[in-house]
Amino acid sequence: MCMTEKQWETLINVIKGKTDTKIPVGFIIDSPWLPTWAQMPIIDYFTNPQMWLDANFKAIHTFPDVIFLPGFWSEFGMCTEPSAFGSKCSWPSDELPFAHPVITGFDKIDFIVKPDPSKDGLLPFVLNRLKNGRSEIEKKGHSLRFAVSRGPLNIASFLMGTTEFLMGVRANPDEAQKLLDMITDFIVDWLTLQIETFETIDGIFILDDIVGFLGEKDFVKFAKPRLKKIFNCRNVKVRFFHNDAPGLICASHLADIGVNLFNFSSDHSLPQMRKLAGDSVVLLGSIPPRDVLAGGTPKDVTEAVKKMLEGIEDKIRIIASCGGGMPPGVPTQNINAFIDAVKRS
């Protein structure tokens, strides 16, 4: 949720479309990559505030030229938001935690009550970790910049199960909309609490891959109005959306929703996404994260970056990245190869 003033200015200038001969490098980093790369057990990363800080400090010191998004992400994996709804969370000692469904069908949605983010689930721990670490973070020249949440369809899929939720979109559309409306209101409350707690926040970051599994009509009916409400709940400079599932359907709606920064699947090229998203949206992408950035050699990464940047008519509103968050197992040498390849482009 943090970055330096210089990095923030770079991000804002990219959003404004100010020309620069250099394409910035930015990566989403969180628990799937960071603790293992920093050589610490995942459970310690989640439960030891100093180790969480140390992992993030190691990343910013090792890669000073990279804009890490959102930066010092205070999270508990996919358990963060579902925990507030009463989801049972399982915590393997050195694997990512996972949230269990709360309800078995749409006939049970009335059992779900909108959470209070100030006191329910793991959300108070998310805020308190940031409060306790803020002084040390700011001493290193970073400031809290983003309020973060999973999106409404993503949270709904955890509360019900992905298959059950997606089937219900068609079989129980009224109940699906009721559930999504309640979750959307909760997300607005959660983002608002973060923004009001930390006055330096001026960005919203929403992650929702489930929108990539909807057709055009279902996206417009179930996802678009809720995303629009979320991204416009506060007047912030950066409205960042992550969807590394298929993103062609949502792309043409991003500007209308209010999104000005989009991280998308490596299945889509930068020129293809530019054509669909328009000129006003910053594109964050997009080499294959698992097969190349994590599983390839530095040479593979270099070649993928060259291919990624082919066909770009100009460098306006582009941030070089991978197609999604930093995946598990990405080695330092591959990130350095990525940075060097972008610098030479």
pLDDT digits (tens, 9 = 90+) for 190-203: 999 999 999 999 99
Using only C-alpha atoms, the chain has a radius of gyration, in whole angstroms, of 19
pLDDT at 19 over 80: no
78 close to 30: Cβ distance less than 8 angstroms = no
Q: Would the pLDDT of 313 be above 90?
A: no
pLDDT tens digits, one per residue of 251-271: 999 999 999 999 999 999 999
pLDDT of residue 40: 97
Look at the chain and count its residues.
Answer: 345
As a whole-number percent, the residues of the chain with pLDDT over 90 amount to: 93
167: domain range?
Answer: 2-344
The predicted model gives 64-85 an average pLDDT of: 97
Judge whether residue 53 has pLDDT over 90.
yes
The pLDDT of residue 174: 96
Residue 312 pLDDT > 90, yes or no?
no
The arithmetic mean of pLDDT across residues 332-344, rounded, is 97
Residue 49 confidence (pLDDT) above 70: yes
**pLDDT for residue 86:** 96
CB 210 within 8 A of CB 151: yes
Dig out the tokens for 291 from the structure: 């097969």
For residue range 89-128, what is the model confidence (pLDDT) as tens digits? 999 988 999 999 999 889 899 989 999 999 999 999 999 9
Q: 323: buried, middle or exposed (CB in 10 Å: 19+, 13-18, 0-12)?
A: buried
CB 150 within 8 A of CB 207: yes
What is the pLDDT of the chain when averaged over all its residues?
96
What DSSP character marks residue 285? Answer: E
pLDDT in tens, 136-194: 999 999 999 999 999 999 999 999 999 999 999 999 999 999 999 999 999 999 999 99
* pLDDT above 90 (res 21): no
Counted domains in the chain: 1
Across the chain, where does the E strand assignment appear? 2-4, 25-28, 66-69, 89-90, 98-99, 142-144, 146-150, 203-207, 238-243, 261-264, 282-287, 318-322
pLDDT band at 2 (very low <50, low <70, confident <90, very high): confident
Q: Is the pLDDT of residue 294 over 70?
A: yes
Give Cα 219 distance to the centre of its chain.
19
pLDDT > 70 in the chain, percent: 99
> In the predicted model, what is the mean pLDDT of residues 207-235?
97
**pLDDT at site 235:** 96
Find the CATH number of the domain harbouring 331. 3.20.20.210
Average pLDDT of the segment spanning 53-58: 98
What pLDDT sits at residue 15?
97
